[in-house]
Chains A and B, each alone.
Chain A
């Protein structure tokens, strides 16, 4: 029998989506091995420019590709069999170093797969590597990684967004067709917007967090990055659903996430909150957003501009108390005792622990832990933490009201396009404000997706769609309809050509 791995084989078009690759693999057009080799060549060639990965795993990927080819021969197929996937390095992978972007976890090798990775492994997906992120997923630019900043494939002098910037950059640059990220305060949607791809935050409780390095447990969800709605639906389908290992996963049945793909936009009730348009939007973003709203109207959607979310801005303040408070508790585990980095030679146990944490954590992580410790400390708990939780109740109620009469809410995903590296690094508050429109949705728990919404000054603009809890199908159906009407998701960044196998 011919060994397909050694034959030259046809050149593989890496602009293809995961579903196009899946069809080609089934048709025998090329093997999973050939696809993995082409993908690795592309990814490795782009790394010097992008730094999208903390670790590329060619040996694992090629072994998984061979196993996928075996399954293809036997007809034992799943939607992601043989498909290359990027995995954010906050997701535990058995036997492969998982750092969460932090030096404090350097060398840490999980002995389990997180549930979402286990589910992709069962499907026979091919893991190309662990993607870069802001340390412990805290940040909006991927500059806070302990392993160097990731750059935006549209303009290498700009950030790709964050915290899931590595996953977003490698999908946008046509390295891998799909990748996993996590979204605690916009960390999937904001980088998807800044790199011109699709990124979806599921409803809180829809996807298991078992084995995900914890940052803010009441806010975060794992979700898909893709270049079209169909691939996002396929990846969400693979990871969604109840998990006995995560008591916060929802028992609600998982629908077919492509069930609304034929629905179009006709008659869809769409709310456009006025607040989303006043909050320091760049002109180019405002124009692109208005174009998107016009597109929905032209296609027969019923647009309601009287929707108000008065607590949108204060939701950011609530988030910057709640998320750090949860982080200060979750990150207490990094004490240098059981795993990870340990400072040696301190004056006793406490000194050693404090210097382990002082040396091991980066600036942004220290800031957040300290804000959280302050907000939870005696005398301040009621004024900050309890108050923030009460405001959270108001934010949830407002989203509930706004979505009672509307199927979707539409906002820009971010107030600006991708900003230059370093621009906000010394101004934490300015960095936080970039997530003004994404963070409220983590506070409320609703699902939301960022889709490509045109360009401003040559850089992608993202449109955010927000739906009622567990109505990810509505988001993906509308996203799919927009793709049929525009070519925004088919624009490719200049870097995409690098590493094309000859």
Chain B
């Protein structure tokens, strides 16, 4: 199991993680070794075996659709890295440019 540098860059992009060249090269080796170990899975016969998403027996747990008070806006916003009034300030999404 050997990942290429391009594959590592592709995964980093999927995960939205910026990597230095040095990090990418180190991760190439580490991820290859970990995924290589996980190749043991392919030796197991799982034909006709249903997947388990979680070990819990309950499915489709519902609750009454009732209005409940939300947390106070000022408290929720207190942790935001940048705010403007009652809004969280973010970089422009649709165009590259200064904060908009």
Contacts and interface: CB of A to CB of B under 8 A. Distances in A.
Interface of A: 107-109, 111-112, 204-205, 217-218, 244, 247-248, 250-251, 311, 313-314, 316-318, 320-321, 328, 332, 335-342, 346-355, 357-359, 361, 366-367, 369-374, 377, 383-384, 386-394, 396, 428-429, 432, 443-445
A135 to B, nearest CB: 14
Nearest first, the 9 A-B pairs at minimum CB distance are A445-B55, A358-B18, A389-B51, A218-B54, A339-B79, A390-B46, A342-B81, A247-B61, A354-B18
Contacts of B54: 204, 217-218, 248, 445
B17 A366 contact: yes
Interface residues on B, range: 35 or more
Contacts of A342: 81-82
A68 B92 CA distance: 51
A283 to B, nearest CB: 25
Contacts of B38: 317, 320-321, 384, 388
B67 interface: no
Contacts of A391: 41, 44, 46
B81 A336 contact: yes
A388 B93 CA distance: 36
Given A247-B63, A349-B90, A339 B81 contact: yes
Given A111-B76, A339-B79, A428-B34, A377 B14 contact: yes
Interface of B, secondary structure class, is loop
B91 A352 contact: yes
Contacts of B72: 111
20 contacts: A109-B79, A248-B61, A314-B43, A317-B37, A317-B38, A347-B96, A348-B97, A349-B91, A349-B93, A358-B18, A361-B17, A370-B11, A371-B31, A373-B15, A374-B14, A392-B55, A428-B33, A428-B34, A429-B33, A444-B55
Contacts of A217: 54
A232 B58 CA distance: 27
Contacts of B88: 337-338
A357 B91 CA distance: 15
B42 A218 contact: no
Interface in B46-100: 46, 49-56, 58, 61, 63, 71-72, 75-76, 78-82, 88, 90-93, 96-97
A139 to B, nearest CB: 14
A370 B12 contact: yes
Contacts of B49: 390, 393-394
B69 to A, nearest CB: 13
Contacts of A244: 63
A359 B8 CA distance: 17
Contact of A348 (B14, B27, B91): B91
B2 interface: no
A372 B11 CA distance: 9
